[in-house]
């Protein structure tokens, strides 16, 4: 089907603990840009990404996204949000700040 060279990929189907840390300083290289194409620009974030990989919600480049697919967020219990989400320091609050004042920003759970 193709004449290109083979490329090895790793599929992370669990918690990602078997993966090497990201080498790129993603936050420093992620620059805001004006999104005027009308296209969906989305990202997938998992609630447990804050552990081992230390990738917290405030590191999501929300200013460059139109949609965020938030996986495995605990949505039941507590006062409107799950108590376990409150335990992750600043996580839910960071998500709220990212969405603040952005009518067109969508978070899918």
Q: Is 20 inside a domain boundary?
A: no
Q: Is 31 inside a domain boundary?
A: no
Q: Is 23 inside a domain boundary?
A: no
Domain span at 87:
36-108
- Total number of domains in the chain: 1
Q: Is 1 inside a domain boundary?
A: no
What Å distances lie between residue 70 and 80, 81, 91, 106, 107, CA to CA?
A: 17, 14, 12, 10, 7
Q: Is 69 inside a domain boundary?
A: yes
Q: Is 81 inside a domain boundary?
A: yes
Q: Is 16 inside a domain boundary?
A: no
Q: Is 54 inside a domain boundary?
A: yes
* 101 phi and psi angles, rounded to 5 deg: 75, 10
Series of mean pLDDT values for 10-residue runs along the chain (109 residues): 70 66 61 78 79 76 80 60 58 70 66
What Å distances lie between residue 13 and 3, 10, 60, 66, CA to CA?
A: 28, 9, 21, 25
- pTM of the model as a whole: 0.50
- Whole-number pLDDT of residue 42: 83
């Amino acid at each position: 089907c193709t004449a290109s060279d083979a490329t090895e990929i790793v599929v992370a189907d669990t918690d990602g603990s078997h993966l090497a840390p990201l080498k790129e300083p993603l936050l420093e290289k992620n620059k805001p840009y004006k999104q005027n194409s009308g296209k969906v620009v989305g990202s997938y974030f998992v609630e447990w990404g804050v552990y081992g990989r230390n990738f917290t919600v405030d590191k999501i480049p929300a200013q460059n996204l139109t949609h965020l697919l938030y996986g495995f967020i605990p949505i039941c219990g507590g006062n409107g949000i799950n108590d376990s989400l409150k335990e992750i320091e600043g996580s839910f609050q960071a998500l709220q700040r990212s969405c603040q004042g952005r009518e067109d920003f969508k978070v899918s759970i």
